[in-house]
Structure 1
Amino acid sequence: MEKKYINFCLCGDNNFIIPITVAITSILTNIDKSRIARFFLLTTGFSDKEINTILKLKKKYNFEVVNIPVENYINLFDKIDITKCKIPYVSLATYYRFLMFKILPEDVDKCFYIDGDMIVDTDLSIIYDNLTEDKLAFAVVEPLAMQHRKSILSHCYELEYFKNFKNDCLKYPYIQAGFFLINLKKAKEKNIFEQLIDFITICPNTPYVDQDVINAVIGQQYSDLINYLEPSYNVFCNMDYKQPFNDAFYSEEIITKSFKNPKIYHYGGEWKPWNTTLTMHHYDVWWKYLKLSPYRKMKNPKKKIIGVMENDRYRVYKIFFMRISIKK
């Protein structure tokens, strides 16, 4: 009998060992129990010990893990100077996701990409099954970037790759690269991996790193092959949702509803729930899944940011995100 796999790809270095394990725990907790989750990890710094820790979840769940060390592929990113990124805490590991388009096994016809700082609080099997052969991807549009595109995405108006966005941004919107489902069979037919590498060769250090690359290649060239999911599938937990969203691709009603009922929580921003209590929203959700993971004995952080009081969270995050980033 053919195994009913649902494929996932997560990437990271040794700083993301625990978050990735918690993300995997959340996926397994909510997935249709008749399916087998297969996780492809594109990593540096993950030892056999860490992989064996993830495999402790096999006592409760039916899944497979394939760890693929990416050291042999690092030269593909030689032109990247991560210090030129607008986001000071991002590492080269954010580019590892490109490898999913090239090195995953041939029997992987489609695959979710999930950022390691996410919690999946829904069954993704329905979306997985609904990606038809004629479509390239399911993705979520980035509402903050779209709302403030003249400032946050000012660089897109200067790059030839984003001419479609410049002419009609609602038809060619800017997607968030932390969560998407890709039809790998079609992606290989269209040489997506080669196009991604070509872009970083020509434009190696764009402000929002891999997300700009994915948008330039997939979002801009193949918009007609993308189904745009509602924003509940990528709700930022460090974003001020009280601001107006009247020109953000989605309606303000949908954005507000999605924020109140997230399907996927994205702990974007520098301050993660595993290293500070300053996470703006849904701090306890991450810790709920941590307690279901093999790292359940980990204690809540006590770390505070110097000079920032708890009641200053909203002000600080509004300034932070409007100033530099929409990215993780």
Structure 2
Amino acid sequence: MIDATTRKYAFFVCHHKSGQIYRDDIFRPIHVGAATASRELADCVRDDTGENISQKNASFCELTALYWMWKNVDAQYYGLFHYRRLLNFKRLHSRTLHFHDFSSKQLEELGWNDSAISAICGKYDIVTSPRWNVHPVGLNRMIMTNYEFYAREHHIGDLDIVLELVKEQSPDVYPYVLRYVHGKQCTFANIAVMRKDYFEQYASWLFPILFAAEQKIDTSSYDPHQKRVFGFLSERLCGAYIDYLQATQNARVTQLGVAFGAFAKPVTDGALVLNTIAEQVARAQELLIAERVHVTFAIDNNYAPHCGAAIASLIGAIHPRQPLTIHILHDDSLSEKNQLRLASLTRETAATVEFVDVDSRSLEIFPDNRAHISRATYFRLMLHKLLPETVEKTIYIDADVILADNICKIWLDLDDRFAAACADEGGVLQSRRLGLPITHSYFNAGVCVFNLKKLRGIDADALYLTAYLDNKALITLQDQDILNIAFRNSALELPLRWNANARLYRWNDLDYRYSEEEAQAAALKPGLIHFTDSSKPWHSHCQHPLAPLYWQWRQTTPWARRGVQNIRLFSVRAMIDRILSAGRRLEQDFRPYLKALKLRFQEKQRR
């Protein structure tokens, strides 16, 4: 044993990259895959010391830490966690919480102390994360068995090999594994705390099976995600073995909630960024390109004021003589008055506005499942037909944005690519939900340079329709999902600053593809601010630090009277609307009871 002293708790938190690290007498950070890492992580135990399988980390994931603990540490209780996923020792059977630091307040709230942990371990021998319903990410309605999910997400033949090995080597455990694999719940990420005797039994059972499977499974053609095969397989084996221990040895088992960490500190100093933007816009106006640039918005009447603010900021960040055509796709709700207002924004500039009335009946087949997004979002699927043939590309922009730099900087040559766009704020999970290849970066379609020439050279309507129909059950983000499926591996990735999403300015606990450095750079010097999600700058409760920039530009539009001066009035009106709405809901809720009372009163009168 490397750690010769018997410890009460040996809780190891897996790290594989630089970031916030917490260490005390109970929790110890461990660098997983240290044997193959390019640099050492400070303050971490290395999993390549003593007896170890550190070099297998690419396929065994956190199990290299589990193996190291088994072979090199002596303790009464063993625990395995991830730097962004730890158990909440204050709440039995709860689900999730989020944390951003390791402050004394946070440690107390989540029970990361001897007293809270001892209280749990005094009652239970094994503690796990919750058993979640098994379903693709973001599709809670699509419950499936562990076997079905593994077949969808990974190579099912690998699981079949493991099942056969369990049947041969551990016939007494096999029924529990089979039941678990064909059940519809699972504990993910191999997070657990076990009493020493149960931990040693589990490790002694698990690793011989996985090592035998390693000899039978060929991963040479697997991408980096699928090469994590033994980590994925062990997730299905862990819960099954715990069921076996509970049934045959009366192990006391419970579940705790998971605390998810989001450590990339968001940019919240709005004043600093606003000053940077002001200087940036002044310099941006110096750029002039000879080619006419085409920009497209898609709106209904409700979004006319917000589109006005977006256009004002767009015009304000380009050269006064820049040839520019702004195409506004709209349905029949856009009033003539609002069209005139929008057109007036380009007076005394080289820009023009063209309105395109869209017959959206052909789009009714597509889902309308996002409450804060109108059906006008689907108009971008018709760009190749709606804009003139002479327009070979266009920059599509959502109307809930403000430009902070010259849009001409992304007037790119797309070559043979369908589009260019920025990585989404939760793109890793979205790609996984749709089953997209790991080589494709799931993009946010709110800012997208479309290659109309290429789209006209194929049957784009069929491309979009097939993308939807073949993945209908998986679509949650409407046309953005459809575009990512249709354009997979054929989209150029733009620098993140050209679609600075709202989660750059608040804690983001989603899995994203861009780096923390990219996020910080984009937030501090955005080229375009995109007010993603349901909280918009025109809402009184919006906490976005750059919301004042929206009002600054809206003040220069014909909708100025509804702007900054009237925010307080707008807030009062919004509050009154909420009160009235709540009153109507109460009336609806109590209507059956009132009706019943009225009938009883009438019956009493008749008597």
> Normalized against structure 2, the TM-score is what?
0.43
Which residue of structure 2 aligns with residue 182 of structure 1? 450
> Does the CA-based 8 Å contact 2:425-2:501 persist in structure 1?
no
Which residue of structure 2 aligns with residue 310 of structure 1? none
> Does the CA-based 8 Å contact 2:310-2:403 persist in structure 1?
yes
Please point out which of 342, 358, 381 is paired with 1:54: 342
Q: Does 1:122 align with 2:382?
A: no
Which residue of structure 2 aligns with residue 110 of structure 1? 393
Report the AA paired with residue 379 of structure 2.
Y
| CA offsets 1:36-88 (integer angstroms, 9 cap, x no match) | 22111111211221111122223332211111111x2x221222342xx2x32
> Does the CA-based 8 Å contact 1:238-1:281 persist in structure 2?
no
> Does the CA-based 8 Å contact 1:141-1:173 persist in structure 2?
yes
Identify the range of structure 1 (88-97 vs 261-270) with the bigger mean alpha-carbon deviation: 88-97
Instruction: Sort the Cα spacing of 1:26 and 1:240 in 2 relative to 1 into closer, same or farther, 3 A.
Output: closer
Which residue of structure 2 aligns with residue 213 of structure 1? 482
Which residue of structure 2 aligns with residue 235 of structure 1? 500
| CA offsets 1:20-45 (integer angstroms, 9 cap, x no match) | 11111111111233322211111121
1:241 CA drift (Å): 4.2
Which residue of structure 2 aligns with residue 155 of structure 1? 433
Which residue of structure 1 aligns with residue 464 of structure 2? 196
Structure with the greater alpha carbon radius of gyration: 2
Q: Give the match's secondary structure for 1:279.
A: coil
Q: Distance in 2 between matches of 1:214 and 1:108?
A: 20
Which residue of structure 2 aligns with residue 326 of structure 1? none
| CA offsets 1:248-269 (integer angstroms, 9 cap, x no match) | 3222111111112111101112
Q: Does 1:299 align with 2:563?
A: yes
Which residue of structure 2 aligns with residue 226 of structure 1? 491
Q: Give the match's secondary structure for 1:113.
A: strand
Which residue of structure 2 aligns with residue 36 of structure 1? 323
Q: Distance in 1 between matches of 2:410 and 2:555?
A: 27
> Does the CA-based 8 Å contact 2:384-2:455 persist in structure 1?
yes
Report the AA paired with residue 316 of structure 2.
T
Report the AA paired with residue 181 of structure 1.
V
Instruction: Sort the Cα spacing of 1:193 and 1:120 in 2 relative to 1 into closer, same or farther, 3 A.
Output: farther
1:183 CA drift (Å): 1.6
1:6 CA drift (Å): 0.7
Report the AA paired with residue 553 of structure 2.
Y
Instruction: Sort the Cα spacing of 1:226 and 1:89 in 2 relative to 1 into closer, same or farther, 3 A.
Output: closer
1:242 CA drift (Å): 4.1
| Identical pairs, percent | 21
Identify the range of structure 1 (287-296 vs 201-210) with the bigger mean alpha-carbon deviation: 201-210
Q: 1:92-111 residue pairs with structure 2 within 5 A?
A: 92-111=375-394
Please point out which of 274, 290, 293 is paired with 2:538: 274
Report the AA paired with residue 422 of structure 2.
V
Report the AA paired with residue 214 of structure 1.
L
Report the AA paired with residue 380 of structure 2.
R
Q: Distance in 2 between matches of 1:92 and 1:207?
A: 14
1:155 CA drift (Å): 2.9
> Does the CA-based 8 Å contact 2:414-2:492 persist in structure 1?
no
Report the AA paired with residue 290 of structure 1.
R
1:5 CA drift (Å): 1.7
1:133 CA drift (Å): 3.5
> Does the CA-based 8 Å contact 1:241-1:259 persist in structure 2?
no
Instruction: Sort the Cα spacing of 1:172 and 1:133 in 2 relative to 1 into closer, same or farther, 3 A.
Output: closer
Q: Distance in 2 between matches of 1:229 and 1:132?
A: 11
> Does the CA-based 8 Å contact 1:232-1:262 persist in structure 2?
yes
Q: 1:289-328 residue pairs with structure 2 within 5 A?
A: 289-300=553-564, 301-302=567-568, 303=571
> Does the CA-based 8 Å contact 1:117-1:267 persist in structure 2?
yes
> Does the CA-based 8 Å contact 1:101-1:193 persist in structure 2?
no
Which residue of structure 1 aligns with residue 177 of structure 2? none
Which residue of structure 1 aligns with residue 240 of structure 2? none
* Number of residues of Structure 1 aligned to a counterpart in Structure 2: 279
Instruction: Sort the Cα spacing of 1:60 and 1:279 in 2 relative to 1 into closer, same or farther, 3 A.
Output: farther
Q: Does 1:77 align with 2:345?
A: no
Q: Give the match's secondary structure for 1:107.
A: coil
Q: Does 1:142 align with 2:420?
A: no
Q: Distance in 2 between matches of 1:67 and 1:81?
A: 25
Q: Give the match's secondary structure for 2:361.
A: helix
Which residue of structure 2 aligns with residue 261 of structure 1? 525
| CA offsets 1:138-193 (integer angstroms, 9 cap, x no match) | 210113332xx1xx555313xxxx3x2xxx2xx21111010011121112113333
Report the AA paired with residue 481 of structure 2.
D
Report the AA paired with residue 175 of structure 1.
F
| CA offsets 1:88-115 (integer angstroms, 9 cap, x no match) | 2222221111111222101101100000
Instruction: Sort the Cα spacing of 1:212 and 1:126 in 2 relative to 1 into closer, same or farther, 3 A.
Output: same
> Does the CA-based 8 Å contact 1:11-1:42 persist in structure 2?
yes
Q: Give the match's secondary structure for 1:33.
A: coil
Report the AA paired with residue 60 of structure 1.
E
Which residue of structure 2 aligns with residue 19 of structure 1? 306
Indicate the RMSD between aligned Cα atoms, in angstroms.
2.4
Structure 2 alignment gaps of length 5 or more: 1-289, 576-607
Q: Distance in 2 between matches of 1:111 and 1:210?
A: 17
Instruction: Sort the Cα spacing of 1:46 and 1:204 in 2 relative to 1 into closer, same or farther, 3 A.
Output: farther
1:122 CA drift (Å): 0.8
> Normalized against structure 1, the TM-score is what?
0.77
Q: Distance in 2 between matches of 1:101 and 1:173?
A: 23
Structure 1 alignment gaps of length 5 or more: 307-328
Q: Distance in 1 between matches of 2:386 and 2:508?
A: 41
